[in-house]
Structure 1
């Protein structure tokens, strides 16, 4: 099952939103070259800036950031759309079968897709439970 790109409106911003009155406090943190590489890699994976990554990670409850929650919600919505499409396909196959047509390869493809989406849901559920 190919991963579809997450639309930018779901993905959100790389930078944090402006705070009313601005941010009066700044913190300077020195890191080694190895730490910088790791921070950059994680920030790119999360599609956020390094400062946002550090602030979210430090202020996260139970190790989960708002970026993580948004990404999880986007994955659930994407999986829900896939499931709705699959239900429609299975319904069309059932309608044809009830009309006397023999189910072809599309039945096997649809059932395999249902198993893949079910596996994706099984993969996402523990993340949802741990985020509570």
Structure 2
């Protein structure tokens, strides 16, 4: 019995339009071994098929995607630190003057907004 009969189709489905574009990718020996191992684990597919299927997967996170995410989190952290400074100033004023500052509620709403933004950002990424 042929492999394709045991494990299903070994090549990609025919395409409506011709596949006339080719990419050449150079890898070192370590990368080659890793790609070949992943292709075997993925069901004994070819490395080119593995690369195409991986790249076309909407859930793929590239290193540049992760860098953008980390940069965004740091920006959010800086914004939250600035808001925290405002909260400290409001607390000092309230303790010194024994008066609730008029702009305190707007500051606290901004804290809640940024906290929700951070939570949504972190939940949108699977970092595993």
Instruction: Give the TM-score band, short-chain normalised.
Output: 0.5 to 0.7
What does residue 99 of structure 2 align with? 102
Mapped contact 2:83–2:111 kept (Cα < 8 A)? yes
Q: Partners of 2:63 and 2:56 in 1: how far apart?
A: 10
Q: Which structure has the higher relative contact order (CA within 8 Å, separation 6+)?
A: 1
> 23, 27, 41: which is aligned to 2:23?
27
What does residue 69 of structure 2 align with? 72
TM-score, normalised via structure 2 length? 0.53
> 72, 86, 90: which is aligned to 2:87?
90
How do residues 1-132 of structure 1 correspond to structure 2 at under 5 angstroms?
27=23, 58=55, 63-128=60-125, 130-132=126-128
Where does structure 1 differ by over 3 angstroms across 4 or more consecutive aligned residues? none
Question: 1:101 deviation in Å?
Answer: 4.5
Equivalent residues, number: 79
Aligned Cα root-mean-square deviation (Å): 2.8
Structure 2: which 5+ runs fail to align?
Answer: 1-21, 25-50
TM-score, normalised via structure 1 length? 0.51
Q: Partners of 2:102 and 2:95 in 1: how far apart?
A: 17
Q: Partners of 1:66 and 1:59 in 2: how far apart?
A: 16
Question: 1:83 deviation in Å?
Answer: 0.8
